[in-house]
């Protein structure tokens, strides 16, 4: 019974990964016929994701990093 549950979970995971790949433009036909182009496209999408997310991460870090450091200092101060 556990094996059946794992098989169903694996199938659902394959569907979700397939949907994700399709949403970023990677198709089964593209994987089978043009692997290098697919890898290049994946590299470009990854670079685009980093370029998009980096300004937001830096903006958030202005608030988050000092709060984490204050929390760490407070935790260390309470130990001593």
What are the structural domain ranges in the chain?
1-33, 36-80
DSSP string, 50-73: HHHHHHHHHHHHHHHHHHHHHHHH
Quick: pLDDT tens for 23-36.
Answer: 988 888 877 788 88
Length of the chain: 80
Please give the mean pLDDT across all residues of the chain: 91
Using alpha carbons only, what angle is made at residue 22 by residues 48 and 20, rounded to the nearest 5 degrees? 75
C-alpha span between 37 and 47 (Å, rounded): 15
C-alpha span between 24 and 22 (Å, rounded): 5
Q: Is residue 1 pLDDT above 80, yes or no?
A: no
Quick: pLDDT tens for 58-69.
Answer: 999 999 999 999
């Amino acid at each position: 019974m556990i094996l059946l549950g794992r098989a169903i979970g694996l199938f659902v995971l394959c569907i979700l990964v397939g949907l994700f790949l399709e949403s970023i433009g990677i198709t089964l036909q593209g994987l089978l016929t043009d692997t290098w182009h697919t890898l290049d496209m994946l590299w470009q999408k990854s670079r685009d994701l980093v370029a998009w997310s980096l300004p937001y991460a830096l903006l958030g870090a202005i608030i988050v990093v000092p709060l984490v450091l204050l929390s760490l200092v407070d935790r260390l101060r309470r130990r001593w």
